[in-house]
Amino acid sequence: MIKIQIELPDATAQAAQAAGLLTPQALDRLLSNALRRQQAVNYLMRSSSAVSLKVRPRPVAK
């Protein structure tokens, strides 16, 4: 297990502490969710790039 130390503005740290977001369990859940969202964004970006390479625009009819 890795131990991390972060610096936050006082107001942010106090609000996060009051909301119970600074526990190991809450931080694990927050980071895991952020990682899944980032992976989904990366997948969608790769997919849209692949699709745009395969789609050719149709000529405009006169």
Is residue 8, in this structure, part of any structural domain at all?
no
Is residue 29, in this structure, part of any structural domain at all?
yes
61: alpha, beta or left? (left if phi > 0; alpha if psi -120 to 50): beta
Is residue 14, in this structure, part of any structural domain at all?
no
Helix (H, G, I), strand (E, B) or coil at 46: helix
Helix (H, G, I), strand (E, B) or coil at 14: helix
Whether the predicted model's global pTM rises above the 0.85 cut: no
Is residue 43, in this structure, part of any structural domain at all?
yes
Is residue 11, in this structure, part of any structural domain at all?
no
- The model's pLDDT over 10-55, given as tens digits with 9 standing for 90+, comes to 999 999 999 999 999 999 999 999 999 999 999 888 887 766 666 6
Domain that holds residue 34: 24-51
Is residue 58, in this structure, part of any structural domain at all?
no
Domain total in the chain: 1
Q: Which residues contact 13 (CB under 8 A, 6 or more apart)?
A: 22
